[in-house]
Amino acid sequence: MAPTKEGVLVVTPHPDDAEFGVAGSVAHWVSEGREVVYVVCTNGDKGSPHPDTDPGELIRIREEEQMQAASLLGVSKVHFLRYPDQGLEDTPSFRKDLVRLIRNYRPYTVVTSDPYRKYIWHRDHRITGQVVLDAVFPYARDYLSFPDLWKHEGLEPHKVREVLLWGAEQPNCFLDITDTFSLKLKALQCHRSQVGDKELNVKQFLEERARQAAWEEEFSLAESFYQVEVKW
């Protein structure tokens, strides 16, 4: 099956990372009729500054918040892999989970965190980005990589055409979110356990970042990525 221009698979380390990194673009893609699917790699059970937080309850809350944000943006499906927060590892099982989803949804575009950001960067973000890139090439492409996926699950190999990495220090792709920035903010507001009383500061930070990303463009607000065209 050939890839379709409509398919976008967003692989995010934690609940809320996709809203910070790519939600404006997601809203735009959905408005164009493209199908967008989320994959949330960790359960977010460390995402609280309060020492008495119940990690199990936090997982439940953050998944609910992520579902609300995804629904608001028009994301068609959310997959929770539920690996431990701050415990993500580059393992064959994690790689296989992502290969399975890539082969199942057959996206044209895969979006994730840039693993090559220098120095201070959340380890889960680095691991997620690297494993996604490995899953895209060569594992999702090759029959003999996880052969049981096509022998027993009927998931044929798939060639992703484009990868977009958010958080890049030297981005080369700037997508217009001028008309979807307000929806991005509303989606972030769904993550009340993370944004809480910092809502105004988050709005100001994201608006300034979006203006800086668009400063050489003909539009006002942008999300920035490092774009890789995957050539086979």
pLDDT of residue 232: 76
pLDDT over 90 (residue 168): yes
CA 163 distance to own-chain centroid = 11
pLDDT band for position 231 (50/70/90)? confident
> Which amino acid would we find at residue 81?
L
pLDDT band for position 2 (50/70/90)? very low
The CA distance from 217 to 159, in Å, is 31
Q: Which residues contact 206 (CB under 8 A, 6 or more apart)?
A: 20, 181, 184, 185, 188
DSSP string, the chain: ----TT-EEEEESSTTHHHHHHHHHHHHHHHTT--EEEEEEE--TT--S-TT--HHHHHHHHHHHHHHHHHHHT-SEEEEEEEPTT-----HHHHHHHHHHHHHH--SEEEEE-TT--SS--HHHHHHHHHHHHIIIIITT-TTSSTHHHHTS--------EEEEET-SS--EEEE-TTTHHHHHHHHHT-HHHHGGGHHHHHHHHHHHHHHHTTTSSSS-EEEEEEEE---
> Which amino acid would we find at residue 88?
L
- Listing from the earlier edge strand, what are the strands of the sheet with 109-113? 77-83, 36-42, 8-12, 109-113, 162-166, 222-229, 173-176
pLDDT band for position 205 (50/70/90)? very high
Give the model confidence (pLDDT) of 24-81 as tens digits: 999 999 999 999 999 999 999 999 888 999 999 999 999 999 999 999 999 999 999 9
8-229: in CATH 3.40.50.10320: yes
Output the average pLDDT for the chain: 95
pLDDT of residue 3: 43
Give the model confidence (pLDDT) of 138-165 as tens digits: 999 999 999 999 999 999 999 999 999 9
CA angle 181, 177, 16 (to 5 degrees): 55
Domain residue spans in the chain? 8-229
- In this structure, the strands spanning 222-229 and 173-176 are antiparallel
pLDDT band for position 186 (50/70/90)? very high
